[in-house]
Every structure is written in C-alpha cells, then in structure tokens.
Amino acid sequence: MPEVLAVDQYTPRLVRVTITWVLTALVLFPVLAILGLLMRTLQAGYMAAVPPEWFYAVMTLHGLGMVGLWFVAGMAGISVLLARYVRPTIAVSWIAFGATLAGVLLLVAATLVGRLGVGWYFLYPLPFHSGGTWPGWATAFLFAALAIMGVGWTLWAGDLLWAIARRYRLTDALGWQYLRGGGTPEVPPIVIIATVSFIGVLAGLVAAVVVLALVAAEQMTTGFTNDALLIKNLTFYFGHMLVNITMYFGVAMVYEVMPAYTGRPWKSNALVAASWNLVLLLVMFAYLHHLYMDFAQPQWLQVTGQLASYLISVPAAIVTIFSTLMLVHGSDMKWKLPSLMLYLGVMGWAIGGVAAVIDSTVMVNSRFHNTLWVPAHFHTYYVMGVVLMILGTVFHLAGELSKISESAASTRAIVSTVAVGGYGFLLMFYLAGVAGVPRRYASYPAEAAQGIVYAKLSLLFIALLLVGALVYIWETGRRCVRSLA
C-alpha cells in the first residue's frame, strides 16, 4: 500500500478550507440550477414578457458558473483526498477561494446587471460586438473575472502539482514504473490522475493567458486585429481542457473513495498508468472537435480531432468503467449514498461519453452541431456524471468528519429523485436534439415548435431533480457545519 501521511495539525486547517469550499458550492449549486430552470421555462414559452437578452445573460452565468463551480469543487475534493499522500499549501487554497469569489461577483455584475450574453465560451469577437445589448464595462468585467480566477486557479493547480513533486519524481507520479514492469514506488491512482490533470489544467490556463494577451493587445493598440480562428482554437483548448479535467477529478475521487465501500483496494498497475498517460497526450488534441464547422481549419486537424476524441474514450472511460464494474462485482459492496452516487456518476459518465463520441464524429456533427444534442451530452456527463462523483465524495468526507450516520430514507429520496429527475431532464434534451431543435434559442420559432413541448416536459423533471438536490444539500450541509464545530 502507498505510504499514507499521518494526521497532524495540518489536517484541521485543511478541513476548514475544504468545508468553506463545499459550503460555497452547496449555496451556488441550487442558484445556478435555478437559472437553468429559468432558461427552460423561457424556452417552454412561459414568461414571454422577459426579453431574449435576459435568456442569454442567464445562459452565460449558468454556463460559466457551473463550469467554474464544479472545477473548483473538484479541485477542493482532490486537494483533501491528495492530502493523504502529499501536503498542498493551505494558504494557496484560500487565495484561490478569494480569487474565485471576486471572479463570481464580477461575473454576476456583468451578466445580471450588464446583461452580458456571450455564452460560457465568450467566443471572440462577440464580447466586443454587443449591438447595444450590453455595455463595454460588462465585457471588461468578464475578462477581469477570467483573469483573476485564472491567476488564482493557476496558483492552486501549480501548488498541488508542486506538492506532488515534493514527494514523487515526475516519472513515478505518472506511473512509468508500472509501464517498465516494476511496482515501486507504489503510487496510488489518485496521484497519477491528479498529476495528469494538473498538467492539463495548467496547459489550459496558459492558453487562456494567450487569449487574454491577444484580446488586450487588440483593445489597447491600434492596427492589431486578431484572427477569430486562432482565438477560437485557444478558447476551446482552454475551455475543453477545463471541463475534461473536471471530469478526471471526479474519476480520481472514484478511484480513491470507492474502495472504502467495496472493501477491495484499487491499486495502480500498468493499465491504469498507460491509460492516464495516453489521456495526457490525447487531451491536448481532443478539443479540435469543437471546430468541425470551421471550414478554414485544415482537414488534417479535423481528422486529428476525431481520432483524438475517439481514442481518448478508451483509456479514461473504458478502463475506469470496466475497472469500476470489476471492483464492485462480487465484492461485499456497501450501497450507501456516496457509493451509489459514485456508481451512478460512472454510469452517467459512460452514457454521456457515448453521446459525446457520437457527436464528435464529423458526419454526425454536421447534423447535430448546435442542436440540443450538445447540451444533452455535456449535461449527462456533468449532472449525472462528475457532479454525482463530487457530491458522493463530499458526502463521504462530511459523513466521516461529522460522524452523523446516514438515513436510509433520505438516501432513497435523493437517489430516486436525482436519477429520475436527472435522466428525464436529459431525455428531453436528447429527443429535442434528434428532432433537430437548435440550442441557444431564447424562444422557438414555428420551425422548431417541438422544442417547446420538450422544454415544458423538462420542467417537471428539473423540479424533481432540484428536490433531490435540496435534500442532499440539507443532509450534507448539516454534516459540514457539524464538522466545523
């Protein structure tokens, strides 16, 4: 077994910052989810008096907020789990927390006051061509928020990688000793996945820095114009990386927490090491599938995007999914709320992953691009995938710290409402996507009237999902508060 560090005075300080992150996430999660509910309400044809620019402002806050929220929740979860093996700097986590709060405030002002409606990917040059819908300061706030959060997250990811570096050699942290046929030093899977993830995060954040530098150069100088295709490549390199890595955080949590319920250890081996090293290589190119519609992109890059998108599903998803099944099969499995959420999360990751691979096929993408199939697949591996993995881990940790025992009734209520509500909500997206209903429409014209029906039905499922989420938040929140006391 990998050597585990002892509990010392470091631990309560780490718990405090982690619980602060968790409580913040538990407050933001339902707020951002209600913004999603509001979007589907508008698409269902209700609240017709609300102008469409509000839909896009809400869409921007919902998208950026959810991507950022689950990224930081994943980082916080990974930090606390990694602390069994390495010692991240707690002050850096607090700095990242402050930067995130400042960024969130700026984003809220830009969207809900300034009505900035650029979407989570703020695709250049849209932020600078508002057509009078949002003022210039809202665009400035957006980029300021990204810059502040970017600095905070870079420090955080850098510190976590530094913490790993202080204990392991790079080749060991990447598990190359297993590829060479050896087994020492023994490195837990979470360290391998975290190393891959933090390298990816930092690469993505460097791409964001390049975007910000290019945009600033254009705004502050004369005669310098940016290439929209270059900015789009860099933006999706950053955005796709951040979203993908958030999922890997969730998977790392499954590797670390699931054995507590199966009673079997989940050890690193050559397969785990090979798969995550391959992920590190392929994740650098998978973002290219976001640019299939950009005809100016050279064809060989489009082919690379499709190949990378296909291949990346093998090491990360297939290996993890089959390993999870093997871990659970025949074990003395304790089906508690955390293990159920982790298991459902892996299932959601698999389903969303298949839908993503379908959409990453060039021929299919030419039909599905910008239909509701796209939010269908990313909501699947987010809401029913990584979010469940993170929430399951948080409940596991909160339960361990608070010593409050789990209620079977609330577990049943949470799992059943989240599963039925979640998959019902997603099914409406998938069916609408197959019917060709476009995404990002504030209201549907006659040609896409089916979208109204699907949006109305989805409201019921979202309400059910929210009920489950609120029960979870209550149960977890009181455990977190008890842990602080």
Output 294 or 406, the one with its CB closest to other proteins. Answer: 294
d(CA 142, CA 150): 12
- Give every CB contact of residue 72 below 8 A, 6+ residues apart in sequence: 21, 25, 96, 100, 153
Output 233 or 371, the one with its CB closest to other proteins. Answer: 233
Asked if 108 is part of the footprint of other proteins (rule: CB under 8 A), the reply reads no
CA angle, corner 121, sides to 148 and 53, nearest 5?
100
Select the residue interacting with other proteins from 165, 179, 434, 467 (CB under 8 A): 165
Asked if 293 is part of the footprint of other proteins (rule: CB under 8 A), the reply reads no
Q: Which of 377, 463, 465, 354 is nearest to 427 (CA)?
A: 377
Stretch that binds other proteins, among 161-169, 406-414, 425-433, 438-446 (CB under 8 A): 161-169
Asked if 169 is part of the footprint of other proteins (rule: CB under 8 A), the reply reads yes
Contact letters for other proteins, residues 56-95 (x by CB under 8 A): ------------------------------xx--------
Select the residue interacting with other proteins from 19, 199, 253, 437 (CB under 8 A): 199
Nearest distance from C-beta of residue 374 to other proteins, angstroms: 21
Nearest distance from C-beta of residue 214 to other proteins, angstroms: 7
CA angle, corner 300, sides to 297 and 304, nearest 5?
100
Asked if 126 is part of the footprint of other proteins (rule: CB under 8 A), the reply reads no
Q: Where are the alpha helices (DSSP H) in 109-227?
A: 136-167, 170-173, 176-179, 189-220
Stretch that binds other proteins, among 136-144, 156-164, 339-347, 463-471 (CB under 8 A): 156-164
Asked if 474 is part of the footprint of other proteins (rule: CB under 8 A), the reply reads no
The number of residues making up the chain comes to 485
SS3 content of the chain, % helix, strand, coil (to 5): 75, 0, 25
Residue 364, CA distances (Å) to 252, 374, 425, 429 in order: 31, 12, 23, 17
Asked if 284 is part of the footprint of other proteins (rule: CB under 8 A), the reply reads yes
Judged by CB under 8 A, the number of residues near other proteins is 38
Asked if 166 is part of the footprint of other proteins (rule: CB under 8 A), the reply reads yes
Stretch that binds other proteins, among 49-57, 61-69, 73-81, 168-176 (CB under 8 A): 168-176
d(CA 210, CA 215): 9
Asked if 175 is part of the footprint of other proteins (rule: CB under 8 A), the reply reads no
SS3 438: strand
- Contacts by 309-312, CB closer than 8 A, 24 or more apart: 309/356, 309/357, 309/360, 310/357, 310/360, 311/278, 311/282, 312/278, 312/279, 312/282, 312/283, 312/286
DSSP letter, residue 287: G
Select the residue interacting with other proteins from 30, 45, 135, 158 (CB under 8 A): 158
Asked if 203 is part of the footprint of other proteins (rule: CB under 8 A), the reply reads yes
Is the preceding peptide bond at 265 cis, omega within 30 degrees of 0? no
Asked if 123 is part of the footprint of other proteins (rule: CB under 8 A), the reply reads no
DSSP letter, residue 133: S
d(CA 184, CA 194): 19
CA 179 to chain centre: 29
Asked if 297 is part of the footprint of other proteins (rule: CB under 8 A), the reply reads yes
d(CA 256, CA 134): 45
Stretch that binds other proteins, among 37-45, 204-212, 389-397, 472-480 (CB under 8 A): 204-212
Asked if 224 is part of the footprint of other proteins (rule: CB under 8 A), the reply reads yes
Select the residue interacting with other proteins from 222, 295, 403, 485 (CB under 8 A): 295
Asked if 161 is part of the footprint of other proteins (rule: CB under 8 A), the reply reads yes
Nearest distance from C-beta of residue 3 to other proteins, angstroms: 6
Select the residue interacting with other proteins from 91, 98, 128, 227 (CB under 8 A): 227
Select the residue interacting with other proteins from 210, 278, 435, 452 (CB under 8 A): 210
Asked if 206 is part of the footprint of other proteins (rule: CB under 8 A), the reply reads yes
**Helix-helix angle 228-257:52-82, to 10 degrees:** 40
Asked if 361 is part of the footprint of other proteins (rule: CB under 8 A), the reply reads no
Residues in touch with other proteins (CB under 8 A): 3, 86-87, 158, 161-162, 165-170, 172-173, 184-185, 199, 202-204, 206-207, 210, 214, 224-227, 229-230, 233-234, 237, 284, 295-298
